[in-house]
Chain A
Amino acid sequence: MPAIDPHIGTQLVDLCSALLLLTCFAIVAQRRLSACVELFALQSGFLAATTALVAFLTGIHHLYLAAAMTVLIKGLVIPRILKKVIERLNVTRELQMNVNVPAGLLICGALVILAFFITQPIIPLGFLLTRDSLAIALAIVLIGFFTMIARKKAVTQVVGFLVMENGLFLGATAAAYGMPLIVELGVFFDVLVASLIVGIYTHRIQDAFDSLDTSQLTTLKE
Chain B
Amino acid sequence: MTAILVLLGGPLLAGLLSLVIRRARILHGVNFTSMAAIVAAEASLGHRVLTEGPVTALGDFVYVDALSAFILFIIAVIGLSCSLYMWSYMDHHLARGTIGPKRLSRFFFLFHMFLLAMVAATMANSLGVLWVAIEGTTLATTFLIAFFRTREALEAGWKYLILCSVGIALALFGTVLTYYSSVRVLGDVSTALNVTKLLEVADRLDPHVLTLAFIFILVGYGTKVGLVPMHTWVPEAYSEAPAPVAAMLAGVLETVAVYAVLRSKTIVDRAIPSQFAGDLLILFGLVSFALAALFVLIQHNYKRLFAYSSIEHMGLAMVGFGVGGPVGTFGGLLHLLNHALAKSLAFFAAGNIHRRFDTLEIGEVRGLARAQPLTAAAVLVAGLALTGLPPFALFSSEVLVVSALAAQEFASNTLQLGQFLTVTVADEARSLGLVAVFLLFGVVLFGGFVYRVTAMVWGTPPDHVARGEGWGMGQVPLIVMALMLVALGVAIPEGLKTLLDHATTVLLVR
Contact = CB atoms under 8 A, between A and B. Distances in A.
B166 A125 contact: no
Contact of B179 (A127, A148, A176): A176
Interface stretch (B135-143, B348-356, B386-394, B445-453): B135-143
Interface in B173-195: 173, 176-177, 179-181, 183-184, 189-193
Nearest to A126: B180
A164 B131 CA distance: 15
Contacts of A4: none
A190 interface: yes
A32 interface: no
Given A118-B212, A126-B180, A182 B126 contact: yes
B276 interface: no
B208 interface: yes
A157 B158 CA distance: 11
Contacts of B419: 121
Interface residues of B, number: 53
Nearest to A175: B180
B176 A175 contact: yes
Interface residues of A, number: 50
B89 to A, nearest CB: 23
A6 interface: no
A56 interface: no
Contacts of B179: 172, 175-176, 179
B129 interface: yes
Contacts of B129: 182-183, 186
B237 to A, nearest CB: 10
Tell me what chain B mostly uses at the interface: helix, strand, loop, or mixed.
Answer: helix
B40 to A, nearest CB: 28
A68 interface: no
Contact of A220 (B142, B155, B181, B209): B155
B432 interface: no
A168 B176 contact: yes
A37 interface: no
A197 B151 CA distance: 17
B64 interface: no
B176 A180 contact: no
Given A180-B190, A180-B192, A201 B172 contact: no
A213 to B, nearest CB: 12
B154 interface: yes
B226 to A, nearest CB: 15
Nearest to B233: A220
B156 interface: yes
Contacts of A180: 126, 128, 189-193
Contact of A164 (B128, B169, B189): B169
A201 B156 CA distance: 12
B135 A138 contact: no
24 contacts: A122-B208, A125-B181, A125-B206, A141-B169, A168-B176, A171-B176, A175-B179, A176-B180, A176-B183, A176-B192, A179-B128, A179-B193, A180-B126, A180-B189, A180-B190, A183-B126, A197-B161, A198-B161, A204-B154, A209-B154, A214-B158, A217-B158, A217-B159, A219-B155
